[in-house]
């Protein structure tokens, strides 16, 4: 079967996408003819210089969820005839890999593909297709035929085999997929899991050979590896572990063999990012991998996320450093032991300080992740986080400050047990609030900003969410107050957005809607008139 694998623009473009390379390898091993398109990187190089900042700036991810921006960036004058490119090999199936920032673009492109080639089967897979994310939203779209709700490598080959036999006129049901058929959604149930990830083929990066040699991605010399699936921990707020199910890790031998294979094929590659949820879920296999790198003198650097824990000893960290580990990110999240227990974290503040010290002493760069306003977090708890930042500063190189603060994701323990965490309103993942009303979106925003100010004072780099000024603050606050039906505060926030951030048609239209609800027709009409007369900033940027 002819299959085209697509990744639509999704904000960052560090290196050739692992998921495309992996599925190309998997499907080719089953005899399929596969074409790979990283539209994300293709479009970056086609875009005018003044639009490339939306890829290069790590804090610009929210723009990819703006319908107006996605409409303009996908216009032919920027993207070219991308539909014809996708259909150039007459694919029988087009598979879209999805994550939050590329969901809108993927849907827009799938819609255009379906109009151009109705018989081509469109299939969505990836994290955004989880049952806890957008699986059931996607499958309601008339231009999407299948949505895989879990690990697609376990079930996609079987579905393609059925499609080869039946053709696109009578789409078959299959385990692990939602299917829209006969005017209704058919649910194939949960997919199987790959129990032994050592049995999977190495990713096939041959489609990106030219890109790798010319350094067309933002981090030349880098490739990604999915070294494990799932997580050994069970943090109450985490939805990613729900997607992956139980924890499985690649053996040290297999991991080392994969890196050697990539380096043999692409001698210029010397940096590997392990994109599993944590590197140290299986300390034995991690140490075995380090031993093999050291014994064979393999000149590589590598990085990934790790969990604070007693199994991450100073001795192991020193060995990781000798084996080429150059950076680790830790989900510390809070500097309050009480909040850590509420999160179901397995570490204490003392554990975190010890690991950060040991990591820095080993010569490995350190990043910590921090959340704001976790349910039950008091002002004293937040103050403890600020104190922790001050104490830990000598051992920290950067901070990932969550710009969504703390969200309630579907099916997580946090979302499913609001009473347990003193949550009174849990219907909105961003705008939830505590029983006493003190912990709401606006308060979480205040804590985030206070944290950023302290971090910058301490010399933490202004990146990864640590911002001196969030460029879309008042627009976001206005949306929150609109949701709360506090139209006076919403209007005030949108007005400040126009004065202090940017005059856009979107904000003027929102302000017009608020004025209308407040009974201020003249002001509403004036805003609508202003919005109607404004030039589209995205189109202007495209014209350059």
Q: What is the CATH number of the domain that holds 502?
A: 1.25.40
Where residue 332 sits, what CATH number does that domain have?
Answer: 3.80.30.20
Asked if residue 529 and residue 406 are part of one domain, the reply reads no
Query: Degrees (nearest 5) of the Cα angle 14, 254, 290?
Result: 75
Asked if residue 388 and residue 520 are part of one domain, the reply reads no
Asked if residue 183 and residue 302 are part of one domain, the reply reads no
198 is a domain residue: no
pLDDT over 70 percentage in the chain: 97
Higher-confidence residue of 443 and 243: namely 443
Where residue 35 sits, what CATH number does that domain have?
Answer: 3.40.50
Asked if residue 120 and residue 162 are part of one domain, the reply reads yes
User: Tokens representing 47?
Assistant: 């875009």
532 is a domain residue: yes
pLDDT in tens, 480-504: 999 999 999 999 999 999 999 988 8
pTM assigned to the model: 0.92
Asked if residue 291 and residue 350 are part of one domain, the reply reads yes
CA distance 147 to 7: 15
Q: Which of 49-63, 81-95, 228-242 has the lowest mean pLDDT?
A: 49-63
> Within a 10 A sphere around the Cβ of 434, how many other Cβ atoms?
19
Strand partners, 491: none
Q: Which of 526, 479, 487 is nearest to 507 (CA)?
A: 479
Give Cα separations from 188 to 22, 152, 155, 156, 240 (angstroms).
24, 13, 11, 12, 21
128 is a domain residue: yes
Asked if residue 537 and residue 424 are part of one domain, the reply reads no
Asked if residue 406 and residue 288 are part of one domain, the reply reads yes
Asked if residue 84 and residue 174 are part of one domain, the reply reads yes
pLDDT in tens, 262-278: 999 999 999 999 999 99
Asked if residue 311 and residue 439 are part of one domain, the reply reads yes
Strand-strand pairing, 121-125 and 93-97: parallel
Helix, strand, coil shares of the chain, percent, nearest 5, are 50, 15, 40
Q: What is the mean pLDDT of residues 395-404?
A: 96
Asked if residue 522 and residue 394 are part of one domain, the reply reads no
CA 120 to chain centre: 28
Q: Which of 60-69, 174-183, 385-394 has the lowest mean pLDDT?
A: 60-69
CA distance 103 to 105: 6
Q: Which of 14-28, 67-81, 127-141, 269-283 has the lowest mean pLDDT?
A: 67-81
Q: What is the mean pLDDT of residues 442-459?
A: 98
Q: Which of 96, 183, 93 is nearest to 142 (CA)?
A: 183
Q: Phi-psi category of 376—alpha, beta or left, where left has phi over 0 and alpha has psi -120 to 50?
A: left
CA 256 to chain centre: 26
pLDDT in tens, 146-167: 999 999 999 999 999 999 998 7
Q: What is the largest CA-CA distance in the chain?
A: 76
Asked if residue 373 and residue 245 are part of one domain, the reply reads yes
Quick one: which H or E segment has residue 322? Answer: helix 314-322
User: End of a domain among 139, 172, 187?
Assistant: 187
Q: What is the mean pLDDT of the chain?
A: 93
Can you tell me which residue has the tokens 């990283």? Answer: 38
Strand partners, 370: 333, 401
162 is a domain residue: yes
- Residue 542 has a pLDDT of 42
214 is a domain residue: no
What range defines the domain where residue 247 resides?
221-471
Asked if residue 485 and residue 437 are part of one domain, the reply reads no
User: End of a domain among 454, 471, 488?
Assistant: 471
User: End of a domain among 471, 501, 516?
Assistant: 471
Strand-strand pairing, 365-370 and 325-333: parallel
Give the total number of structural domains in the chain: 3
Using pLDDT thresholds of 50, 70 and 90, give the confidence band for residue 540. Answer: low
User: Tokens representing 336?
Assistant: 């309050």
């Amino acid at each position: 079967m002819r299959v085209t694998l697509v990744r639509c623009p999704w904000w960052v473009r560090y290196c050739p996408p692992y998921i495309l390379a992996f599925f190309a390898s998997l499907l080719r091993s089953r005899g399929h003819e596969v074409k790979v398109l990283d539209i994300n990187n293709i479009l970056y190089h086609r875009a005018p210089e003044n639009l490339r900042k939306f890829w290069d700036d790590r804090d610009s991810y929210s723009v990819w969820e703006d319908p107006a921006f996605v409409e303009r960036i996908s216009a032919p004058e920027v993207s070219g005839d991308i539909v014809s490119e996708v259909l150039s090999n007459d694919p029988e199936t087009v598979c879209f890999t999805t994550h939050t920032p590329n969901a809108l673009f993927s849907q827009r492109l799938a819609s255009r593909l379906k109009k151009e080639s109705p018989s081509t089967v469109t299939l969505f897979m990836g994290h955004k297709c989880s049952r806890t994310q957008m699986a059931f939203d996607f499958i309601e779209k008339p231009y999407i035929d299948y949505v895989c709700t879990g690990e697609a490598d376990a079930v996609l080959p079987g579905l393609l085999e059925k499609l080869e036999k039946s053709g696109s006129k009578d789409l078959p049901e299959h385990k692990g997929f939602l299917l829209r058929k006969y005017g209704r959604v058919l649910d194939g149930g949960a997919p199987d899991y790959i129990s032994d990830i050592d049995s999977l083929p190495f990713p096939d990066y041959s489609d990106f050979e030219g890109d790798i040699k010319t350094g067309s991605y933002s981090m030349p010399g880098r490739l990604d590896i999915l070294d494990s699936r799932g997580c050994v921990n069970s943090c109450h707020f985490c939805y990613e572990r729900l997607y992956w199910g139980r924890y499985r890790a690649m053996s040290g031998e297999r991991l080392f063999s994969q890196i050697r294979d990539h380096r043999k094929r692409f001698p210029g590659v010397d940096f590997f990012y392990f994109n599993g949820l944590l590197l140290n879920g299986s300390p034995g296999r991690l140490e075995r991998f380090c031993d093999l790198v050291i014994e064979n003198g393999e000149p590589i650097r590598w990085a990934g996320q790790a969990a604070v824990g007693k199994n991450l000893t100073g001795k192991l960290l020193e060995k990781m450093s000798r084996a080429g580990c150059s950076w680790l990110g830790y989900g510390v999240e809070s500097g309050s032991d009480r909040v850590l227990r509420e999160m179901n974290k397995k570490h204490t503040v003392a554990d975190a300080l010890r690991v950060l010290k040991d990591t820095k002493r080993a010569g490995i760069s350190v990043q910590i992740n921090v959340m704001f306003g976790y349910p039950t977090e008091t002002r004293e708890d937040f103050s403890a986080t600020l104190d922790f930042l001050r104490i830990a500063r000598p051992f920290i190189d950067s901070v990932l400050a969550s710009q969504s603060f703390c969200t309630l994701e579907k099916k997580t323990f946090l979302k499913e047990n609001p009473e347990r965490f003193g949550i009174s309103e849990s219907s909105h993942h961003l705008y939830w609030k505590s029983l006493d009303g003190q912990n709401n979106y606006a308060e979480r925003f205040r804590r985030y900003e206070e944290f950023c100010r302290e971090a910058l004072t301490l010399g933490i780099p202004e990146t990864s969410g640590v911002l001196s000024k969030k460029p879309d603050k008042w627009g976001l606050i206005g949306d929150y107050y609109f949701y709360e039906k506090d139209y006076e505060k919403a209007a005030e926030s949108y007005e400040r957005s126009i004065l202090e951030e940017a005059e856009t048609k979107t904000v003027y239209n929102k302000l017009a809607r608020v004025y209308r609800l407040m009974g201020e027709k003249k002001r509403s009409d004036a805003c609508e008139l202003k919005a109607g007369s404004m030039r589209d900033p995205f189109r202007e940027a495209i014209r350059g």
